[in-house]
Chain A
Amino acid sequence: MGKRIIIDPITRIEGHLRIEVEVENNVIKDAWSSITLWRGIETILKGRDPRDAGLIVQRFCGVCTYVHYEASIMACEDAFKVKPPPNARIIRNLIGGAQYLYDHVMHFYHLHGLDWVDIVSALSADPKKAVDLARSVNPDPYNCSETQYKAVQQRLTKFVKSGRIGPFANAYWGNPSYKLPPEANLVVLSHYLDALQVSKIGAQMMAIFGGKNPHPQTLVVGGVTSVMDALDASRIGAYLYRLKELRDFVDRAYIPDVLIAAKYYKDEGLAGVGGGAKSFLSYGGFPLDESDGAMLFPRGIVKAGNLAKPLKLDEAKITEEATHSWYKGSEPQHPFKGTTDPEYTGYDATGNLKGNEKYSWCKAPRYDGQPYEVGPLARLVVAYAQGHKEIKPLIDNTLKATGLPATVLFSTLGRTAARALETVYVGNHIEGWVNELVANIKKGDTRTWTKCDVPKSGEGRGMTEPPRGALGHWVRIENSVIANYQAVVPSTWNCSPRDKAGRRGPYEESLIGTRLAKVDQPLEILRTIHSFDPCMACAVHIIDPQTNEIKKYKIL
């Protein structure tokens, strides 16, 4: 048996995640992913007015703020049998689009960047050469000059000299698995600092129609409330102006920086490091008209890397089970019928997860019995396999420009690149939505809400594609209050523990075979786990409130 390594806390994510791996000769042989916090928000929803659910479930997560709000409102609209008017659909897309832009930027630089970039190495870079490098991937790189790069180095030097490097302390600087030359480290570090400001612009975009960020407060069952903002040309202008600034950063910083990373990490991409099981699922997201069909991201499945044979998604095949989760039961259940009854069994005597028993607050979602990865890579792979008229050329052109084969997508690097590419794709469409909104209002359609009331009973689901992947909320209403609520969220799919058949979840599977340069520095593990953009808070509310009673737990 190999050496067991525990990484807890996994930092630079939302929430509380623990990863344990077994290593032999520096290579990961087995892995366990565990969520270490449970809040039970679905229990809290029982008996409440369904119209309050959106604001409550939004608090699943403050990083993927808004998305649970939207999914919940969609589930209620399905149950209330009401359709929001076109203006409301568009405004929701504008808020969601802003979320994509700033969230992906923030993820690449602030949550994931330090897995690729060695900031200490940036100190030894030649600023002039850094300018040349930046210009080799983009003719007009963002905030790029010798003076700027020198200033960044000076700022960093001062930090290091003061001995107080705050969030940069105690990290893995100098680890041989950092592959970027000093100049590349400097270019990306400089954008890391720029991105702190830029991501705020995206938050402002969300606030224009959402009231604030995080946790906007503008969606209601049947529509949106920010009608004054929609009718105000100056608000539309304020949004467009910020959109331009943010897209400029994406085009001239984010994309070129990912291309730089791809250049130096391509061997790992080609070797498929972090690839995992290569099964992908997308619910489809951003409705483009009132038809329920046309969506910016298509819905579908790709199984075991088979790009030649994309499959249709059948909602009835979605299940969750809890063989290895701290809940009772082990039979797969559809979310409408799920049960959850906490059964905490703790860690073993040595303080490790009990990998053969229950070991996480996360349940195991499966599609047709199999684990599936969700997120940017899943969305793009599904669209690519379906021959999507915009996404396929976007990927093909990028592969051609970098001289890499399509198989490079199935890796940690591929996951990170997919996130960048879809940021461009979403960004390309937002202005069109704004124009659509303006045209609609000019036509005299100022409706933002469709009249509706809480039904006596009903059942509904909201399925969408927020930045981190396929998100579904299922609600059942009885006596005009919530009788049952379930959310199967992106990080539940990805962070899933093993199922009854012993199949690992996507995080776990993606780590197998990864070689660690230094066993006491889990850099490669962080890089792969972060490439999924983990967001744990939302993943641990999977409880069916069949009963309000909380059982006594055996603490072992």
Chain B
Amino acid sequence: MGQNADYHSTVSKQYRQLLKQCKVNLDRNDQELPAAAEDFGELLKERGVSRRAFIKWTSLMTGALMLPPIFKPALARAAEQFSRVPVVWLHFAECTGCSEAFLRTSYPGVADILLDTISLEYHETIMAAAGDQAEKCLEQCLHDFPGKFLCVIEGAIPLGNNGKYMRLGPKGKTGVEIAKEVTSKAAATICIGSCSAFGNIPAAKPNPTDCVGVSKAIGVHTINIAGCPPNPVNFIGTILHYLMFRDVPPLDGLGRPVWAYGKRIHDYCERRAHYDGAEFVQQWGDEGAKHGWCLYKMGCKGPYTYANCSQVRFNDGISWPIMAGHGCIGCTEPGFWDTMAPLEKQIHEDTFGGGQATIDTIGTTLLGVTAAGIAVHAAATACRHRDNKSETK
């Protein structure tokens, strides 16, 4: 009993200290960051977000970032500072899907405002200037905000052909050159999407241009907002965390923020009960598909994939792939085009012998269900180990 009380007092003391530090950080941000172009309170009013709705949002976001409720006011301040952080957004070997997700994703209320008011000092998809004038925008930002801006990178970096599969700007610089130049002056580097995080599609076998993620290409630490494309809410939360703690959020071994990528799709999937009840879609459009049964046998990679898609969904929470009847393809995991392929087939057979038979017989006894559950977890672990190896080799 007494031990327990000690524990609680220690924890709450630690949190209070952390909160104190948080306030110091936010004060420092207030002094260091450039002034806001628009007043946050007015923006909320303009968009019809009430004070009450805003407070509700801070509770949700604080919880999502795995912080106790005493951090709500600090998070509210971080939200106010959000639009003041200068952001340089670079495009390398990519498809602009992450930018599109960012520009076109909608959330009710506050998150939408944050996405709309972010200070993009350089972003080729939306900036008015081009050529020399665009280059000047970048130089200006590096000059005005050294060590203060966030560098966001979309796209992998090709190393093959001396990096010359990609040459950018009036001087025809390579991705490696630009990435080194910009990240060396940035406060932190955030990789948005699986390409900049892990290489992703251009790095899929046989990786014709020798593409790699940013961290591997230039040896800097990056925060990896994985996904193809990722959910922009994971980006927002990460920046808020950065503002509050002036540090990167806790990351997993692959550089992904734990608060967003710490849970497995499978464990929070709306179809999970059907998995446990051994109700599986057997072919596209069958009766099971019409009733929303589990897509495991259609190759769903939810059991091997760590992300919060099932909880936050996409496009104003309207849907996500499993809701649309297609299995997860594992897009937040490194090397998924190879390790999860074929994407519409079960892959556990080679990592976990005899899995097919196990799945077919489960549901007969409760014990069977539990065994299969454990089996899949084991397969997932094996798969993740394999990913790590292939990525770090």
| A contact residues vs B (CB 8 Å cutoff) | 6-16, 36-41, 43-44, 48-49, 51-52, 55-56, 59-63, 65, 102, 106, 110-111, 114, 155, 158-159, 162, 164-172, 196-197, 199-204, 206-218, 220, 222-229, 231, 238, 342, 344, 346-347, 351, 361, 446-449, 451, 520-522, 526, 537-538, 543, 548, 550, 553, 555
- Using Cβ atoms and an 8 Å threshold, which residues of chain A touch B325? 211, 218, 224-229
- Using Cβ atoms and an 8 Å threshold, which residues of chain B touch A201? 106
Contact B125 A208 (CB under 8 A): no
Closest chain-B Cβ to A322's Cβ sits at a distance in Å of: 16
Closest chain-A Cβ to B161's Cβ sits at a distance in Å of: 5
Closest chain-B Cβ to A264's Cβ sits at a distance in Å of: 19
- Using Cβ atoms and an 8 Å threshold, which residues of chain A touch B168? 8-9, 16, 36
Q: A169-B137, A227-B290 are in contact. Are A56 and B201 (CB under 8 A)?
A: yes
The complex places the Cα of A242 from the Cα of B258 at a distance, in Å, of: 35
Name the CB-closest residue of A to B329: A55
Contact B316 A526 (CB under 8 A): no
The complex places the Cα of A10 from the Cα of B135 at a distance, in Å, of: 11
The complex places the Cα of A548 from the Cα of B315 at a distance, in Å, of: 38
- Give 8 pairs: A residue, B residue, CB < 8 Å, sorted on A: A8-B131, A51-B342, A52-B344, A62-B95, A63-B97, A172-B128, A216-B324, A526-B130
Contact B124 A218 (CB under 8 A): no
7 A-B pairs closest in CB distance: A62-B97, A211-B324, A40-B208, A171-B128, A225-B325, A449-B285, A7-B131
- Using Cβ atoms and an 8 Å threshold, which residues of chain B touch A111? 125
Interface status of B246 (Cβ within 8 A of chain A): no
Contact of A56 among B92, B166, B337, B344 (CB under 8 A): B337
Interface status of B206 (Cβ within 8 A of chain A): yes
Q: A12-B125, A37-B93, A164-B119 are in contact. Are A214 and B342 (CB under 8 A)?
A: no
Q: A52-B341, A220-B284 are in contact. Are A62 and B170 (CB under 8 A)?
A: no
- Using Cβ atoms and an 8 Å threshold, which residues of chain B touch A521? 133
Contact A447 B285 (CB under 8 A): yes
Interface status of B355 (Cβ within 8 A of chain A): no
Contact A555 B329 (CB under 8 A): no
Closest chain-B Cβ to A81's Cβ sits at a distance in Å of: 17
Known A16-B168, A206-B315; 17 more pairs at CB < 8 Å? A39-B165, A44-B204, A61-B96, A110-B103, A196-B116, A211-B325, A213-B315, A214-B100, A217-B326, A218-B321, A227-B285, A228-B323, A361-B165, A447-B285, A448-B285, A521-B133, A553-B161
Interface string of B80-109 (1 = CB under 8 A from A): 000000000001111111111101111000
Closest chain-B Cβ to A551's Cβ sits at a distance in Å of: 10
Interface status of B221 (Cβ within 8 A of chain A): no
Name the CB-closest residue of B to A10: B130
Closest chain-A Cβ to B363's Cβ sits at a distance in Å of: 22
| B contact residues vs A (CB 8 Å cutoff) | 34-38, 91-101, 103-106, 116, 119-121, 123-134, 136-137, 140, 158, 160-162, 164-172, 200-202, 204-209, 211, 228-229, 283-285, 289-292, 313-316, 318-326, 329, 337, 341-345
Closest chain-A Cβ to B96's Cβ sits at a distance in Å of: 4
Name the CB-closest residue of A to B202: A39
Contact B326 A218 (CB under 8 A): yes
Name the CB-closest residue of A to B289: A227
Contact A16 B91 (CB under 8 A): yes
Contact A110 B321 (CB under 8 A): no
Contact of B324 among A55, A166, A225, A238 (CB under 8 A): A225
Contact B172 A347 (CB under 8 A): yes
The complex places the Cα of A331 from the Cα of B373 at a distance, in Å, of: 57
Name the CB-closest residue of A to B167: A36
Contact B131 A9 (CB under 8 A): yes
- Using Cβ atoms and an 8 Å threshold, which residues of chain B touch A449? 283-285
Closest chain-B Cβ to A38's Cβ sits at a distance in Å of: 5
Closest chain-A Cβ to B217's Cβ sits at a distance in Å of: 15
Name the CB-closest residue of A to B133: A170
Contact of A38 among B166, B284, B314 (CB under 8 A): B166
Contact B319 A212 (CB under 8 A): yes
- Using Cβ atoms and an 8 Å threshold, which residues of chain A touch B91? 15-16
Contact B206 A166 (CB under 8 A): no
Closest chain-A Cβ to B220's Cβ sits at a distance in Å of: 22
Name the CB-closest residue of A to B309: A212
- Using Cβ atoms and an 8 Å threshold, which residues of chain A touch B202? 39-41, 44
Contact A448 B284 (CB under 8 A): yes
Contact A59 B285 (CB under 8 A): no
Contact of A207 among B96, B130, B319, B329 (CB under 8 A): B319
- Using Cβ atoms and an 8 Å threshold, which residues of chain B touch A8? 131, 168-170, 172
The complex places the Cα of A216 from the Cα of B324 at a distance, in Å, of: 9
Contact of B290 among A6, A44, A238, A446 (CB under 8 A): A446
Contact B125 A13 (CB under 8 A): yes
Among B132, B137, B161, B208, the most chain A Cβ lie within 10 Å of the Cβ of B208
Contact B100 A159 (CB under 8 A): no
Name the CB-closest residue of A to B281: A225
Q: A11-B129, A171-B129 are in contact. Are A210 and B37 (CB under 8 A)?
A: no
The complex places the Cα of A56 from the Cα of B338 at a distance, in Å, of: 11
- Using Cβ atoms and an 8 Å threshold, which residues of chain A touch B100? 62-63, 65, 213-214
The complex places the Cα of A41 from the Cα of B156 at a distance, in Å, of: 13
Contact B37 A159 (CB under 8 A): yes
Contact B37 A162 (CB under 8 A): yes
The complex places the Cα of A493 from the Cα of B39 at a distance, in Å, of: 46
Name the CB-closest residue of A to B318: A207
- Using Cβ atoms and an 8 Å threshold, which residues of chain A touch B289? 225, 227-228, 448
The complex places the Cα of A196 from the Cα of B202 at a distance, in Å, of: 30
Q: A203-B106, A207-B319, A537-B95 are in contact. Are A555 and B206 (CB under 8 A)?
A: no
Contact A212 B321 (CB under 8 A): yes
Name the CB-closest residue of A to B204: A44
- Using Cβ atoms and an 8 Å threshold, which residues of chain B touch A48? 341-342
The complex places the Cα of A212 from the Cα of B160 at a distance, in Å, of: 33
- Using Cβ atoms and an 8 Å threshold, which residues of chain B touch A538? 95
- Using Cβ atoms and an 8 Å threshold, which residues of chain A touch B319? 207-208, 210-212, 229
- Using Cβ atoms and an 8 Å threshold, which residues of chain B touch A43? 206, 208
Contact B131 A6 (CB under 8 A): yes
- Using Cβ atoms and an 8 Å threshold, which residues of chain A touch B169? 8-9
Contact A155 B38 (CB under 8 A): yes
Contact A550 B95 (CB under 8 A): no
Contact A212 B320 (CB under 8 A): yes
Contact B97 A65 (CB under 8 A): yes
Closest chain-A Cβ to B335's Cβ sits at a distance in Å of: 12
The complex places the Cα of A447 from the Cα of B123 at a distance, in Å, of: 44
The complex places the Cα of A216 from the Cα of B314 at a distance, in Å, of: 10
The complex places the Cα of A55 from the Cα of B116 at a distance, in Å, of: 29
Closest chain-A Cβ to B127's Cβ sits at a distance in Å of: 4
Q: A56-B337, A213-B104 are in contact. Are A110 and B324 (CB under 8 A)?
A: no
